[in-house]
Structures are given as structure tokens and as C-alpha cells.
Amino acid sequence: MAEALRVGIAGLGTVGASVARVLSEKAAELTRQCGRPIVVTAVSARSKRKNRGVDLSKAKWFDDPVKLAADADIDVFVELIGGEEGPARASVKAALEAGRHVVTANKALLSKHGVALAEIAEKKGVLLNYEAAVAGGIPIIKTMREALAGNSVNRVFGILNGTCNYILTRMEAEGLSFDECLKDAQRLGYAEADPTFDIEGHDTAHKLSILTALAFGTRISAGDVYMEGISNISQADIRAAGELGYRIKLLGVAQRTESGIEQRVHPTMVPTASVIAQVHGVTNAVAIETDILGELLLSGPGAGGNATASAVVGDIADIAKSRPGFQHGPVFGWPAKQLKPYKKAQMRSHAGGYFIRLTVHDRIGVFAAIAKRMADNDISLESIVQHSAEADAQKTVILVTHETTEAAVRKATDGITKDGHLTTKPQVIRIERAG
């Protein structure tokens, strides 16, 4: 039998400890599948004394993950510390420079430094695998990098953050407020103590920026992603969406348009009958539209120790199976040096349907004024619904537009606001085509 693959794991938290456990519990299966054993020979974390729920007594301990990364006695460095800078970045860079294969689940790191790290990996002829970095256990990276060779992607979109999908699902199913659902998500360990990163869309933006590079062969730029979170979604929006045949999801969408590559993360109305609208709770889903295949949707667990470990172990097994001296495919599907800068489509040129919820003073002329602002901006309406007074002297008007542009909608809602008929800020939610 071939020699064992020696694995060094830095970070023994939720994911790291699960990876060590799976490698130990599934050792026999993995050996059969890979033709050689996979053995954890070195580990690093902050606390040496913490019980990790798996026997790591035979693995060499390193206080410093950078030293572990460059250790001559490992073949693969597995980074499960997290964070875009600090020890995660330093150790991954050190491992690649020392000619070690690397596996990571770190979307923040790849979103910021992925191209530079891929250049080192490709120069050194080693693998940089990161299946767990996007949509946890869903094999989306392999699908896009390998299975869709030859396809041109038009659009990739998905539910990439389980915390947000959990909150939106419960708000709809149980009529609870955003704050109540967020508290439950925190209690159940789905959301961090500081949930900003998830609920304001940053986490989705990091993952989307990686998918964009894979889809379009472009450089990664999370800063180019337009971002709106879900914290201002109310029961009024959820109810109105349901009445109109829609469900609200936080989507990340990357799309090729006439004005460039559009990357956006925002609450989105998707038709209730669409497949992506059936993705509930912490589950993730990614849809890809290509010229040859058409539309493909993958869904599954997007986070958690086991699901994420499944993807990390799959990446390690690929390395165990790889043949020495074999030229590996490029990290992001195209050679890192050839990833192109791209024209960023401005959000104001986004074209699509819009849901607009207005809370207005209950007085004569308001309806006509709203209709005039819409017409002045060439916005044609698919439906207009007026709800009777929610509170004294107040009405809700819900508009659904046909395809228009973001610029037109912003001008129209600015105009309506200036007219002085609104009692609160207009709520605007984009509608996404989904099969």
C-alpha cells in the first residue's frame, strides 16, 4: 500500500474537531477509497488542554500554526482557524510556499487573498482546496470547477447563509418578528453573539465573490458586491409577499449583464412555487444557469461541524488520490494569473421587477400622486394593492412593478417621499426570476 498521507490540522473548533473525528472514525473506508491511509500527524489550536472529543495524543502539538504549516513532516495543511488575516493567512501562505497542499474552509481569507494564494499554489504545483468555504457541505466548488467545464455561466445565485434563511423561514411559518427569530437563532447556536456579519449580508458576499470568480473567470472582489441585509424585513413584508405569491429569501446573485458583472446580496422575492423557495431553515442552495446544461440547483446543509467536515474530508481525500507529478487544475477554474479584472455593473442599472411597500397618510390625492411618479419614470405596474388603515389615518399601498431599472425605482420613490405623503421610509424589495 502507498504511504500514508500526513495531515496537519490548525484549528480544532467546530469544524477542525469534526474533521479529526471523521478522519479517525472513517479511517478504514477512506483508506479503501484513496488507496492509502490518511493520518492526522500534527495539530494546532490556542488551548492544548481543551478536550476535542477525539484522541489526538499521537499527533505532534504546535502552539504556532505557521510553524505547523511549514513542518517537513506533513503533506497537507488544513486551515480551520478562520479570519481573513492573522494566523490563518500567514499559515496558509507559509504552507503553500513550503510546497504543501492546503485545504481550508475560510471564505473570508479566500475572498480577500484567494487570487494571490492561488498564484502561489499554482506556481508550486500544489492543491489549494476550499469546498467547505462556500455553502458548507454542498459540493458547489467541484461542480463549478470540474463538472461544468465548457459551460458558459449566465447567472449563479443562492441561499448561502443558513442563519438568515432560518430567521426568514421562522418569520414566515410562525409569524414571529425578526428580533424574536434572531434571539432563537443565537440560543440554538446558528447565529454568533454579534450576528452583524451574517444578517447584514457580509458572509453571503464573501461566498458570492468566490462563486463569481468560478463562474466568470474574473478576479475576486467582495468589495464590488452590493449588499443589503435582512434586519429591516418585517411581518408586513412577509405577509404581503405571501399574498402576492412570493417568499422572501436572502439571495446572493452574480450575473453577466450588458453593463458588466452584477454582484448583489439582498432580501429577494422569489415565486413561492420556485424550487429555491422550498429551501427552508438552515439549509443552503445554489442555482447555476449555463448555456449547455440549463439550470442546475444543488441544496443541502450549509454549515455545522459534520456538514463542513464532510466537504473538508472530501478535499483531503482528493489530495490522497492525486498522483505525484500530475499537473493539478487551476484553483479557481482558470489559471490565477489569467483571472480577469472585469467591468462592474452599477446597481442603478439593475433590471428586474420590484415590490414596493408604502405607508401613506390616508388622504385624497395620494394614490394619484404615487401613480404619477411611477408613470413619470416609465414604471409599469403589474399590481397595486391598498390595505385599509393599520393605524389611525394611515394606509399601506403595495406596488409590484414589471421589469424596470433600479435607477427608475429610486427616482420614483425619492419623488414620492418628497411629495410628503409617506409616514415611513418606502420598503423596496427586488424580485428575482427563479425556476
Ligand X SMILES: NC(=O)c1ccc[n+]([C@@H]2O[C@H](COP(=O)([O-])OP(=O)(O)OC[C@H]3O[C@@H](n4cnc5c(N)ncnc54)[C@H](OP(=O)(O)O)[C@@H]3O)[C@@H](O)[C@H]2O)c1
Positions that interact with ligand X (CB under 6 A): 10-16, 44-47, 50, 65, 80-82, 87, 105-107, 132, 136, 303-304, 308
Closest approach of ligand X to the CB of residue 34, in Å = 23
Tell me how far, at minimum, the Cβ of 63 lies from ligand X, in Å.
Answer: 8
- Is 207 a residue of the active site? yes
Closer CB to ligand X, 89 or 170, in the complex:
89
| Least CB distance to ligand X at residue 309 (A) | 9
Question: Residue 399 pairs with which residues in a beta bridge?
Answer: 356, 384
Considering beta carbons, is residue 257 or 306 the nearer one to ligand X?
Answer: 306
Q: How far apart are CA 140 and CA 74, in angstroms?
A: 27
Burial of 129 (C-beta count, 10 Å sphere; 0-12/13-18/19+):
buried
Beta pairing partners, 394:
361
Q: Is 125 left (phi over 0), alpha (psi -120 to 50) or beta?
A: left
What are phi and psi for residue 188, nearest 5 degrees? -85, 0
Three-class secondary structure of residue 58 per DSSP: coil
Q: How far is the CB of 85 from ligand X (least distance, A)?
A: 11
What are 167's three cell numbers? Answer: 430567521
- Give the CB-nearest residue to ligand X: 13
- In the bound complex, what is the minimum distance in angstroms from residue 213's beta carbon to ligand X? 18
In degrees and rounded to multiples of 5, residue 142 shows phi and psi of: -60, -40
Minimum CB separation of residue 290 from ligand X in Å reads 26
Whether the Cβ atoms of residue 368 and residue 416 lie closer than 8 Å to each other: no
Which residue in the list 93, 107, 112, 207 is annotated as catalytic? 207
Q: Distance of CA 346 to CAs 206, 251, 254, 343, Å?
A: 19, 18, 13, 9
Q: Considering the complex, what minimum distance in angstroms separates the CB of residue 96 from ligand X?
A: 17
Element (H, E) at 253: strand 246-257
In Å, how far are 48, 231, 266, 351, 383 from 354, measured between CA atoms? 53, 19, 12, 9, 11
CB atoms within 10 A of CB 300: 17
Strand ranges for 258-329 from DSSP E:
260-271, 283-290, 294-301
Shorter beta-carbon distance to ligand X: residue 45 or 213: 45
Q: Do residues 432 and 270 make contact, with C-beta atoms less than 8 angstroms apart?
A: yes
| Cα 355 to Cα 247: distance, rounded to the nearest angstrom | 12
C-beta closer to ligand X: residue 207 or 357: 207
Residue number with CB closer to ligand X (67 or 239): 67
| Catalytic residue set | 207
